[in-house]
Chains A and B, each alone.
Chain A
Amino acid sequence: MSSTPAPPEEVRILVPSGMLGGGFPAGTVERGLALGADVIAVDGGSTDSGPHYLGSATAKTSAAAVARDLRSLLGASATAGIPLVIGSCGTGGTDAGVDWVAGIVEGIVREQGLALTVARIYSEQDAADLVAQLDAGRIHPLAPQGPLDAATLESCTHIVGMMGAEPIMEALEAGADVVLAGRATDTAVIAAVPLMRGMPAGPTWHAAKIVECGGQCTTDPRSGGVLATIDAGGFTIEPLDPAVACTPTSVAAHMLYETVDPFQMREPAGTLLVREATYRALDERRVRVEGSRFEPADQHTIKLEGARISGYATMSFSAIRDPHILGSIENWAALLEQVLTARVRQTLGISPPEYEIDLRLYGYDAVLESIDPATGPPREVGVMLLVHAADQATATSVAKIANPLMLHLPTRDMAYLPSLAFAYSPAETERGPSYEFALHHVVDVDSPTGMFRLRLPEGATR
């Protein structure tokens, strides 16, 4: 595998699912291997579930679910002698996330006696290094964000750089069979091997985008994985579940999913352009895509993601079924906020913004608030009170002051005290630190691998 033969005519990528730990039907991997897969690639994370996972450097998935998927994938990699590439390990792609997945991998490799060289690529960034880049004018905001200041960088609990395909290619060239990457673009994980083997950039990046969510580009998004075959003229997509199909519409429509702009996508090394791409059915299950272009950028950029603690939250949840209160629920909520604010000032001597309250009327307008098109009184309402403060004790104190109001507050015209329906006891739940995303910026870099640290086991050779 170490010598450099002539480029192959095509490279086949097996994507078993949209996320490591998400599971895939039995037979998915076997079918991909039978079709001649050259690499298995799967995404291990995302910002999709919010800032908590990056901010706290913990995973959204359970170790048991990740281990279940890995047993199958590592076994397939060893049996077929093809690389396994996993990106954005541990959800946020932090160093702790990479080490967490590596620990699970090592356990399985030992247990199954697999001969696999496992590389780790760390993508976590030091705030002080980034402040120097900022001072040198090399960090730029992405819309809708404004310019960055050093304090914002320093306030983050974790910052990751999103790698392109190059650090993964470097790990594979150094002899890795399994690459556990920190934060990477979803597409880089899939594009690394085909690019290494000489496949053209346009079809490679486009295919990578189409298959990054596994079965999402098929007629049944819940189905198992997909196989992308890339060649000099384009690429072909085929579902691994024999009962499922890819159609020109299901494939083309995946460019819409979670993208701001469906026709162009920026990668660290350039921009994928798909407006001229054509989607054609080869048969009932396979789709051929041609005409995708990749325009290399003048400046290689690495996108930064960072999260920080915005405070600590305590939640209380009660519910109202009494039609009289429901008939004027907005007035009741306004009264609660007014009485609560006064009692907190009187008891704790603090006022917003020293703490914040977010009172949500589930069943009325909690989700969409002022943009909700519906009208009319609800049948019942769940009242969620979220108190946010600089420390947990203050947040909980405010929530406890709210407790008698969440239980007994009447509307102004009621002559008696209602008792509302707490959902559980105790009513207050401490949610711990609340995180927020603080970065949406890119750094200009001279080397596509410079911000990332490759670690191979002792004695690993090419």
Chain B
Amino acid sequence: MSAEHLPTLGELALEVRSKNAGPFWVTMELFMRDAEGYALVADEEFLDEDVVARLYDLDPADILFFRIPELNVVKVSFPRPVAQGSLRDRDVHAGQHHVPLAALVPGRR
């Protein structure tokens, strides 16, 4: 690993966010600054179902990807491992679940 700081997706994006989409799903969005940033996160070699499955401990088959060039957005949705507000749910609105995604560093898969 080099000493040079490589920017994370959180630093490259305008915003990385997560939110519940009903009680049984989580959805996350990477809002990139421009077409160049979008190209980075829309690249399936860098970010796909397998990467998200590894970050979030999920089955890749459960993950939905939406790549939206008009908005420079990549959106990812998946079923919540624990239903919203149930025993052992620690993030009722799933609003902090973007952090592992935002910590990804392009160029270091």
Contacts and interface: CB of A to CB of B under 8 A. Distances in A.
Max chain B Cβ within 10 angstroms of own Cβ: one of A51, A358, A386, A434: A51
B73 A371 contact: no
B85 A373 contact: no
A50 B85 contact: yes
A323 B71 CA distance: 46
Interface string A342-379: 00000000000000101010000011111111000000
Given A249-B71, A372-B100, A260 B55 contact: no
B90 A258 contact: no
Contacts of B39: none
Interface string A246-267: 0001001100111111110000
A368 B88 contact: no
A70 to B, nearest CB: 26
B24 A440 contact: yes
Given A47-B22, A371-B57, A262 B75 contact: yes
Interface string A21-42: 0000000000000000000000
Max chain A Cβ within 10 angstroms of own Cβ: one of B84, B91, B93: B84
Contacts of B91: 367-368
Interface size range of chain A in the complex: 35 or more
A360 B84 contact: no
Given A258-B21, A368-B96, A437-B23, A51 B103 contact: no
A371 B83 contact: no
Contact of A368 (B29, B93, B97): B97
Interface string B1-41: 00000000000000000011111110101010000000000
A371 B20 CA distance: 17
Contact of A360 (B23, B31, B75, B90): B90
B107 to A, nearest CB: 17
A328 B82 CA distance: 28
B56 A436 contact: no
Contacts of B85: 50-52, 435-437
Given A259-B27, A260-B25, A261-B64, A370 B84 contact: no
Interface string B86-98: 1110111100110
B23 A47 contact: yes
Contacts, number: 102
A66 B84 CA distance: 25
A144 interface: yes
B23 A51 contact: yes
Contacts of A144: 24-25, 62, 79
Contact of B56 (A145, A371, A440): A371
A388 interface: yes
Interface string A226-261: 000000000000000000000001001100111111
B43 interface: no
Contact of A253 (B71, B88, B99): B71
A261 B92 CA distance: 20
A127 B19 CA distance: 31
A360 B23 CA distance: 22
A112 interface: no
A434 B88 CA distance: 11
A152 interface: no
Contacts of B31: 253
20 contacts: A47-B84, A49-B92, A50-B85, A144-B24, A249-B71, A253-B73, A260-B22, A260-B64, A260-B77, A262-B68, A366-B90, A367-B90, A368-B99, A371-B100, A372-B100, A373-B55, A434-B87, A437-B23, A437-B85, A440-B24
Q: Which 7 A-B pairs have the closest CB atoms?
A: A50-B85, A144-B79, A437-B23, A373-B103, A436-B86, A260-B77, A51-B85
Given A48-B20, A51-B84, A260-B22, 14 more contacts: A50-B92, A144-B24, A144-B25, A252-B70, A256-B29, A256-B75, A258-B22, A259-B21, A262-B75, A368-B96, A434-B87, A436-B85, A437-B24, A437-B83
